[in-house]
């Protein structure tokens, strides 16, 4: 998926809608709110893109096929524990740069206030047919 950003106000609305649909805990929702405040106040309200990572997707999901910055990852575990991973690659997560274990029905939230740069794109992968779902908050590098 190519990087197609939108105004931070629209991205915020979409992110909170996704968080509600996923059933994120209040702690994760507070972190989401804090991230948007940080981006608005200290980063000049950058344009962002919310990319959803659907549950039960065992194939690689291309979050961005061009350079980007990752500002946040918000995940909700599925029916069973699984590993989730992402890579600095535009088509495959076979060589993950980050691998995380997430328990059944647990929240996993990773926030990078300054943005973590990915030079080649970003690919998400999960193991397990009933794995986690969630969303990524990305922006231009």
**13 band by pLDDT with thresholds 50, 70 and 90:** very high
Asked if pLDDT for residue 29 goes beyond 70, the answer is: yes
* Close Cβ partners of 123 (under 8 Å, ≥ 6 residues apart): 60, 61, 62, 63, 86, 87, 89, 90, 91, 92, 93
Q: pTM for this one? A: 0.88
Q: Kindly provide the residue ranges of all beta strands, DSSP E only, lying in the chain, ordered along the sequence.
A: 48-53, 61-64, 68-76, 82-87, 98-102, 107-118, 122-126, 133-139
Residue 58, pLDDT above cutoff 90: no
When pLDDT is cut at 50, 70 and 90, the band that residue 92 belongs to is: low
Task: Give 109's pLDDT tier (boundaries 50, 70, 90).
Answer: confident
Give the residue from 63, 73, 138 showing the smallest Cα distance to 111: 73
Structure confidence at residue 85 as a pLDDT band (50, 70, 90) = confident
**Domains of the chain listed by start with CATH number:** 8-139 (2.60.120.340)
Kindly tell me if the per-residue pLDDT of 11 is higher than 60: yes
Residue 11 · residue 104 · CB < 8 Å: no
């Amino acid at each position: 998926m190519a990087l197609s950003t939108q105004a931070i106000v629209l991205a915020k609305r979409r992110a909170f809608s996704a968080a509600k649909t996923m059933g994120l805990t209040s702690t994760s929702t507070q972190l989401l709110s804090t991230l948007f405040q940080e981006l608005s106040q200290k980063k000049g309200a950058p344009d962002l893109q919310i990319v959803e990572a659907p549950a039960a997707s065992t194939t690689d999901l291309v979050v961005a096929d061009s350079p980007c910055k990752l500002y946040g990852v918000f995940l909700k575990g599925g029916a069973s524990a699984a590993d989730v991973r992402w890579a600095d690659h535009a088509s495959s997560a076979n060589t993950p740069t980050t691998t995380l274990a997430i328990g059944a029905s647990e929240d996993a939230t990773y926030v990078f206030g300054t943005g973590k740069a990915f030079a080649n794109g970003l690919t998400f992968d999960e193991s397990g047919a009933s794995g986690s779902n969630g969303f990524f908050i990305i922006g231009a590098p």
